[in-house]
A and B are shown apart, each in its own frame.
Chain A
Amino acid sequence: MLTFAPVCDRDAPIARTNPIAKLFAVVAVSTTALLAADWLTPLLLLAALAVATPFSGVRLGPLTRRLRWLWFAGATVAVVNTVFAAEKTGAELLSFGPLEITADALVDGMALGLRVCVAATAGVLGFATTDPTDLADALTQQLRTSPRFTIGSLAAMRLLPLLSAEWQQITTARRARGMEGGRNPLRRARLFASTMFTLLVGAMRRAGRLAAAMDARGFDSGARRTHARIQRMRPADWLFSACAAAVSAAAVVVSVAYGTFRLLV
């Protein structure tokens, strides 16, 4: 079943880090990668993420599965930007009819693809090591987001996995009624639309009932709330945030020293 529970060893150092510290680290690393237009900065950041991975407690299998499509997207960005680069300068590496790949275009394309990979990897590591409940607690307590929005989203997320089970039930019930897509694409499309409609009607009703249950338990009554679980920054969390900032800065400094750094404009 689809769930949003973290897929890591809960006692790993990064898993135990405060969610806001992790959020800061993900934002710092991703922003640095996205602002840099050279190839060295994202490559260094990617290396730093690789070093951090063993401390996240995420096993390699689940991590690869989650990253698969995002890295594929990164590779696509690299290929598209290499092949369709506007300025084809540098040594010609390959020429095939209208297709022409030059050294500069290849480097730029790789750089753009790497940036996507850095942002994706940082984000996935952050989410895979963070329990949604802890994140919601940290957002409401440390960043003072509205509990109505934050806790409401959390409650709605709890219901999402039910949708896939319900989809299966509706499909089965329809087969019993003599309704099946078979090989006819038009009929399949109509069946898909009508199943989706039934699913949405059910989801709306369920959301209404959940909202009533939350109201009945005094949620969003305008009164002050207290917190059963306390989230705050401990010294280790400050250290973690400082490390993330330092690594991002170091990547830029090395790239500048090496003479490759370019800011995205």
Chain B
Amino acid sequence: MISVRFRGFTWRHAGRRSPAVSDVDLRIEPGERVLLLGPSGSGKSTLLAALAGLLTTDSGDQRGQVLLDGTDAADRRGAAGILFQDPETQLVMARSGDDVAFGLENQAVPTEAIWPRVRHAIETVGFPYPLDHPTHALSGGEQQRLALAGVLARRPGLILLDEPTSNIDPEGADAIRRGLKAALADTSATMVIVEHRISEIIDLIDRVIALDPGGGLLADGPPETVFAAHGPTLADQGVWVPGIPLPTRPGHGAGRPCLRGDRLTKTYPGADRPAVRGIDFTARAGEMLAVTGPNGSGKSTLALLAGGLLKPDLGTATVPGEARPLHRLPAQRLATRVGSVFQDPEHQFVTATVRAELAFAPHAAGWDRDRTDARVSELLERLRLGHLAEANPHTLSGGEARRLSVASALAAAPDALLLDEPTFGQDRRTWSELVDLTAAIRDAGTAVMAVTHDRDFAAALADRELALSAGEVDGEASRC
């Protein structure tokens, strides 16, 4: 059990003008379980990094103090255990057991004591594989559980969790939370967690600290008290406060077909069964078709096939007025027929400014200058990117980058838009923005097809649902 103390703590990352956090005064008693809240950009991750001793003097400027049991946190690096968002970059070793053992080797635990502790940690988090299972063969959720075991095996007196489930699909996230619950029952360590989805973890915490975006604290106290007093404010800041209803944006009826899939079938090289098999669908103007299903059911493959980005083994994806199937269209033409938005917006950015990004596809499609300029201005306004027109796409915030990736997919005026997990890992504020944005696109007459795990997103917008199971349409669960 470690006690935490921030004294007038301010941190400015090297090369930034304004501080990431300023004037934080805070005391956390040994064994407390704390949920740390705040809008994106309020410095939650910076505070966790400070506690983990990861802020070094060459990476920024510090004022004030961060103390663990009265000692400077930077001098006690490794005393706390931290779990980050991204599972892929937390694993060090090729075999699962070796990875958990890595932290114990660094701690100079004697060889004969290492393996019992590894086994115990792995059992606690419910990791389902033997110790020599290769880490590259794990799903994101399994990798994250293994990383959690790596944190726990070191028996830290302070456990730090930085949005541990936000990059994980819902089933994987449940398993991580179960592992976390078991682990916390097993230790008396102090815990600080950063998380937007609080209803799922509320029984793990006994105190909520909300950062004020302007500096200092907005609220501090037991969960019920804080949410009763500040619920709506926190919801506006992006926190998924339980009990505050979500918006819905029902459609106004479907129009003509804009995108069709006929018997789409695809088997990846080396796979023992098709990723998708014989899938038919029609996306119509003015409606959203949600594509749902568990991991590995073929949702993302279907999105690639529907977007003309992957060659089907059998079947075709087509749009009216185009004789060739989409996968055979040159890219410049494809972008005028169907727009695709991927999970990672940064992969899609190809130019140096927001304005150029929007002009790219129309220019490639051979639009004249006046038409392109008019389209760019329209999109900048509609997607509220006007003030960012000259900014570099890679410097945008998460929500802005997401808006830009949607705007650039729409730039060459396709009749159909494909979204792959648009709300993945987003806070409530960005989520609501995305619901409004998608509704506006749909109501302007575009056919929207969204691959999503997010039940709330599908419920808010979708008129029809195509549920996949093991690569085929699950008729029972579909609403078509």
Contact = CB atoms under 8 A, between A and B. Distances in A.
Interface of A: 1, 3-5, 131-133, 151, 154-155, 158-159, 161-162, 169-170, 172-180, 182, 194, 198, 201-202, 206, 209-210, 212-221, 223-230
B249 interface: no
Given A159-B89, A169-B344, A194-B350, A218 B103 contact: yes
A159 B101 CA distance: 19
B94 A177 contact: no
A56 to B, nearest CB: 20
Interface in B59-112: 77-78, 80-82, 84, 86, 88-95, 98, 101-111
Nearest to A194: B350
Contacts of B88: 159, 162, 206
Contacts of B135: 158
Nearest to B79: A218
Interface in B310-359: 310, 330-332, 334-336, 339-340, 342, 344, 346-348, 350
Contacts of B115: 228
Interface stretch (B175-183, B360-368, B374-382): B360-368
Contacts of A132: 94
Given A216-B78, A216-B81, A217-B102, A176 B307 contact: yes
30 contacts: A1-B136, A3-B136, A133-B93, A133-B94, A154-B93, A158-B92, A169-B342, A172-B309, A173-B348, A174-B331, A174-B347, A175-B309, A176-B335, A177-B361, A178-B334, A178-B335, A198-B347, A209-B86, A210-B90, A210-B92, A215-B77, A216-B78, A217-B154, A219-B92, A219-B102, A221-B77, A227-B111, A228-B104, A228-B114, A228-B115
B52 interface: yes
Nearest to A217: B103
Given A179-B350, A182-B330, A215-B54, A229 B98 contact: yes
A216 B89 CA distance: 12
A133 B332 contact: no
B150 interface: yes
A225 B80 CA distance: 18
In order of increasing CB-CB distance, the 10 nearest A-B pairs are A218-B78, A178-B335, A180-B331, A228-B101, A218-B106, A176-B340, A217-B103, A173-B347, A209-B89, A178-B364
Nearest to A210: B89
A70 to B, nearest CB: 25
B103 to A, nearest CB: 4
A224 B346 CA distance: 41
A260 B82 CA distance: 65
B94 A158 contact: yes
A146 to B, nearest CB: 14
B98 to A, nearest CB: 6
A61 B386 CA distance: 59
A154 B344 CA distance: 27
A178 B108 contact: no
Nearest to A151: B92
B139 to A, nearest CB: 14
B128 interface: no
Contact of A180 (B106, B330, B394): B330
B241 interface: no
Given A175-B331, A209-B90, A226-B109, 20 more contacts: A3-B136, A151-B102, A154-B94, A158-B136, A175-B309, A175-B334, A176-B331, A176-B348, A178-B360, A210-B89, A212-B49, A212-B54, A215-B54, A216-B54, A217-B103, A217-B150, A218-B106, A225-B106, A228-B98, A228-B115
Contacts, number: 169
A218 B107 contact: yes
B350 A225 contact: no
A177 B408 contact: yes
A176 B334 contact: yes
A93 to B, nearest CB: 47
A177 B89 contact: no
Interface string B140-172: 000000010011001000000000000000000
Nearest to B310: A172
Given A154-B93, A158-B92, A226 B111 contact: yes
Contacts of B331: 174-180, 182
Contact of A217 (B106, B110, B342): B106
B304 interface: yes
Contacts of A214: 92
B458 interface: no
| Most chain A C-beta atoms within 10 Å of own C-beta, residue among B84, B110, B331 | B331
Contacts of A209: 84, 86, 89-90
Nearest to B412: A178
Interface string B412-428: 10000000000000000
Contacts of A223: 106-108
A193 to B, nearest CB: 12
Nearest to B338: A176
Given A213-B89, A217-B78, A176 B108 contact: no
B475 interface: no
A198 B102 CA distance: 31
Given A155-B92, A179-B364, A226-B114, A219 B330 contact: no
A11 to B, nearest CB: 14
Contacts of A213: 84, 89-90, 92, 147
| Most chain B C-beta atoms within 10 Å of own C-beta, residue among A155, A206, A228 | A228
B34 interface: no
A255 B452 CA distance: 71
Contacts of A169: 342, 344, 347
Given A133-B98, A213-B92, A176 B105 contact: no
Nearest to B364: A178
B134 interface: yes
Given A132-B94, A151-B92, A216 B52 contact: yes
Nearest to B56: A215
Interface in B395-412: 408-409, 412
A220 to B, nearest CB: 8
Contacts of A228: 98, 101-102, 104-105, 111, 114-115, 118
A174 B87 CA distance: 25
Given A177-B348, A228-B98, A218 B77 contact: yes
Nearest to A157: B94
B309 A216 contact: no
